[in-house]
């Protein structure tokens, strides 16, 4: 297994290209770039004007020079354009973005495209899954053509809440280009057993998000890896059992003040828990 980090970890302190170089300095082997258009956070590459071959190539070159990989692209923009939407126009826009991501991801040597799919209001989980499956069936040939994978994440939404929900989506799409991006922090926050779900996902596990959760007076809050309640030792054991050998991608939000601490303390904890 190798360590990667998501844009959210350090890009509130460093702009993207510098952040990629800093990730390498911090000992990460990969970098996950967010593609966003929700709240104009300034993280990653803003869709649509920055989601271009030139800008993606610049990020790929920064990674090459730093000696690391672009591990994956995260289509955060799908929080605005739900592929599970009841609106045909919205689904069509989501499909266009998802298809576009295939060639751009492949162009920098990455294999995984994270799909953080939300649950639209007014739809049942079954209806939302049906809409998502329809979009992914349409898009899968493009991913197959470029040798990349669309990976649906358990983001705490009803349509993809459990490992069984995720496996249902994968099964119904019926393409090797549709797999699962599993978040152990999200699972723990939902009261699931992430180690058991990792075993359930087995060969369909394309990549893993790593974050922790801590109990505070305001409720559960995201925490530096090792400071919270996620049973990483059990997760590591489950990943070993299914022979998972992909990226572990840190997704703990960092600020301009604490980004370095988030990155380095989480790195040390992940190395300890996963024997890296």
Q: How many domains does the chain have?
A: 1
Residue range 214-266, pLDDT digits in tens: 877 677 788 899 999 999 999 999 999 999 999 999 999 999 999 999 999 99
Decide: 101 and 78 in contact? Cβ < 8 Å.
Answer: no
Q: What is the pLDDT confidence band of residue 60, given thresholds at 50, 70 and 90?
A: very high
* Model pLDDT, residue 214: 86
Q: Which residue has the tokens 């953080």?
A: 116
Decide: 253 and 6 in contact? Cβ < 8 Å.
Answer: no
Residue 40, pLDDT > 60, answer: no
Enumerate the β-bridge partners of residue 152: 115, 180
A 10 A CB-CB count for 147 gives 11
Residue 136, pLDDT > 70, answer: yes
pTM given for the model: 0.95
* Model pLDDT, residue 72: 98
Structure tokens at 244: 């998972």
Which residue stretches of the chain are H helix?
16-25, 53-66, 88-107, 125-146, 163-173, 184-189, 194-201, 232-241, 259-274
Percent of the chain exceeding pLDDT 90 equals: 93
d(CA 271, CA 1): 10
Range of the domain at 36: 2-6+16-209+231-251
Close Cβ partners of 52 (under 8 Å, ≥ 6 residues apart): none
Mean pLDDT of all residues in 153-166? 95
d(CA 27, CA 252): 16
DSSP SS3 for 181:
strand
Mean pLDDT of all residues in 83-95? 97
The CATH number assigned to the domain holding 96 equals 3.20.20.150
- Domain annotation covers residue 118: yes
- Domain annotation covers residue 48: yes
Decide: 220 and 196 in contact? Cβ < 8 Å.
Answer: no
Mean pLDDT of all residues in 142-158? 96
- Domain annotation covers residue 98: yes
d(CA 266, CA 101): 29
- Domain annotation covers residue 72: yes
- Domain annotation covers residue 70: yes
d(CA 7, CA 135): 26
Average pLDDT of the chain, as a whole number:
95
Residue range 42-56, pLDDT digits in tens: 799 999 999 999 999
- Domain annotation covers residue 161: yes
Percent of the chain exceeding pLDDT 70 equals: 97
- Domain annotation covers residue 196: yes
d(CA 231, CA 254): 22
Residue 37, pLDDT > 80, answer: no
Residue 38, pLDDT > 70, answer: no
Q: What is the pLDDT confidence band of residue 41, given thresholds at 50, 70 and 90?
A: low
Enumerate the β-bridge partners of residue 181: 153, 207
* Model pLDDT, residue 220: 77
- Domain annotation covers residue 199: yes
């Amino acid at each position: 297994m190798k360590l990667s980090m998501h844009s959210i970890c350090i890009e509130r302190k460093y702009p993207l290209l510098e952040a990629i170089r800093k990730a390498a300095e911090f000992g990460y082997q990969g970098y996950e770039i967010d593609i966003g258009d929700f709240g104009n956070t300034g993280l990653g590459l803003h869709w649509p004007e920055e989601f271009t071959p030139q800008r993606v190539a610049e990020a790929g070159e920064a990674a090459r020079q730093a000696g690391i990989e672009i591990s994956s692209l995260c289509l955060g923009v799908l929080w605005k354009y739900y592929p599970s939407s009841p609106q045909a126009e919205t689904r069509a826009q989501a499909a266009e973005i998802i298809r576009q991501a295939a060639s751009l991801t492949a162009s920098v040597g990455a294999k995984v495209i994270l799909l953080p799919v939300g649950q639209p209001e007014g739809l049942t989980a079954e209806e939302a899954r049906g809409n998502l499956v329809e979009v992914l069936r349409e898009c899968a040939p493009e991913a197959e053509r470029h040798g990349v994978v669309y990976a649906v994440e358990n983001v705490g939404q009803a349509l993809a809440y459990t490992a069984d929900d995720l496996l249902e989506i994968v099964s119904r799409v019926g393409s090797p280009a549709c797999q699962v991006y599993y978040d152990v922090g999200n699972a723990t926050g939902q009261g699931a057993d992430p180690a058991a779900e990792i075993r359930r996902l087995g060969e369909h596990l394309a990549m893993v998000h790593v974050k922790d959760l801590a109990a505070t007076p305001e409720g559960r809050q995201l925490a530096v890896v090792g400071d919270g309640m996620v049973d990483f030792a059990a997760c590591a054991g489950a990943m070993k059992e299914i022979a998972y050998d992909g990226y572990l991608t840190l997704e703990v939000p960092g600020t301009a003040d604490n980004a370095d601490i988030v990155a380095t303390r989480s790195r040390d904890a992940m190395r300890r828990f996963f024997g890296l």
